[in-house]
Each structure stands twice: as structure tokens, then as C-alpha cells.
């Protein structure tokens, strides 16, 4: 931890949310974002890690975790040609908000399935999420929502009015189509 802490702080300054090492059995070894939480099994919870353990090849994608969600980049680690685990570098939804807002007016909301978040998350980490105003089936990543609000050039009252106007249509559409583009676990 001490050997890489300076590097992790530099990574965080470049929008990296998590640097996480895992043992070959899918056991969390070191979470730089929560160094006191380790030793828990991620098998069956973090499918990306399961896949790296099976294939010993890198895996990239969006996934909910025990503490945060993230756009995950998971790499196998080898020592003298022996597989010894994996390391993950991931970006949160707040990083995506920064990218989308980089060139002008944009307002996006990333919503997450409340069922999936609560199924995977450590209960004490639920404070990283906020209720979505369209119902309790969805949650917002607090950090991403706050980043979007800070960077937003559209007045909050305008966004609230748009949300009010589209709420019923949104709920109707999403409840009818569980396979829409962008839906992920």
C-alpha cells in the first residue's frame, strides 16, 4: 500500500476511482479506495474478476461492485509465468460526466438498478448512492450526480421541469423494455 499510495493519488487526480488487487480465488487483497476492507470473496459478485481468473486475459466493462460501480479495466498478474491474481483500474460515472461535459452544454443522468446495487454492495456503502426521483427501482451514483450538477450549464430548475415532463413516459418505457441499449448489470 505504501509503495503505491503516491501513484494512486496521481491516478485519482486523473479521474481513476479505484485501484484494486485480487488474489486468484477472487479474494479482495487490497482496495486503495477502502484499504481496511479486504479478504472478502468477489466470486459470483464481480463477473469481470471471475472471467480474468478463468481466462487469465484482460477484461473491460462496466460493473457494480461491493463499494462502487465502475468502468473496469481488469488485468491478470503473473510472477515467473505463474498467475498470481489480478489488478483493476476503474473509472466512476463521474469521470464519464466530465468527458461528456467537456465540450459544452450537457446534462446526463446515469441510473442504476436498485436491485443489482443492493444485491452486490456492502450494506454500509449504500450511502454512496441516492434515490432516483422516478421511483425506488433505480439509484443514482452520488458522486456522478454531484459532478454533473457542478459542471452543468443548464439551470437546475430547467432540469427539474424536464424530469417532471418525462417521468411518466420514462417509467412506462423502461418497464416495457428490459433489453434496451445501455442496460447493464
Question: Residue 185: is its pLDDT beyond 60?
Answer: no
pLDDT digits (tens, 9 = 90+) for 8-31: 999 999 989 999 999 999 999 999
- What pLDDT shows up at residue 107? 61
CA nearest to 91, candidates 115, 62, 65: 62
Q: Which position has the higher pLDDT, 94 or 30?
A: 30
Higher per-residue confidence, 159 vs 87: 87
Confidence of residue 66 (pLDDT cuts 50, 70, 90): very high
Whether 102 has a pLDDT exceeding 70, the answer reads: no
Residue 60 confidence (pLDDT) above 80: yes
Contact of 175 with 151, CB cutoff 8 Å: no
* CA nearest to 33, candidates 17, 13, 48, 52: 17
Closest CA to 69 of 112, 13, 8: 112
Q: Which residues pair with 85 in a beta bridge?
A: 77
pLDDT at 104 over 80: no
What's the confidence (pLDDT) of residue 81? 96
- Residue 7 pLDDT more than 70? yes
Secondary structure element (H or E) that encloses residue 136, with its range: strand 135-141
- Beta partners for 74? 59, 88
Counting every residue written for the chain, the total comes to: 185
Amino acid at each position: 500500500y505504501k509503495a503505491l499510495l503516491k501513484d494512486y493519488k496521481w491516478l485519482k487526480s486523473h479521474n481513476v476511482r479505484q485501484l484494486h488487487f485480487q488474489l486468484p480465488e477472487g479474494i479482495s487483497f487490497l482496495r486503495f479506495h477502502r484499504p481496511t476492507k479486504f479478504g472478502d470473496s468477489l466470486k459470483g459478485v464481480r463477473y469481470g474478476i471471475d472471467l480474468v481468473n478463468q481466462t487469465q486475459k484482460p477484461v473491460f466493462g462496466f460493473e457494480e461492485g461491493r463499494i462502487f460501480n465502475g468502468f473496469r479495466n481488469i488485468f491478470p498478474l503473473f510472477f515467473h509465468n505463474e498467475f498470481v491474481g489480478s489488478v483493476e483500474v476503474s473509472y466512476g460515472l463521474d469521470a464519464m460526466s466530465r468527458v461528456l461535459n467537456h465540450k459544452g452544454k450537457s446534462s446526463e443522468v446515469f441510473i442504476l438498478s436498485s436491485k443489482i446495487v443492493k444485491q452486490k454492495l456492502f450494506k454500509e456503502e449504500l450511502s454512496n448512492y441516492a434515490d432516483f426521483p422516478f421511483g425506488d427501482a433505480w439509484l443514482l451514483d452520488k458522486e456522478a450526480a454531484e459532478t454533473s450538477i457542478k459542471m452543468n450549464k443548464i439551470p437546475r430548475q430547467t432540469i427539474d421541469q424536464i424530469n417532471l415532463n418525462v417521468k411518466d413516459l420514462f417509467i412506462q418505457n423502461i418497464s416495457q423494455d428490459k433489453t434496451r441499449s445501455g442496460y447493464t448489470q
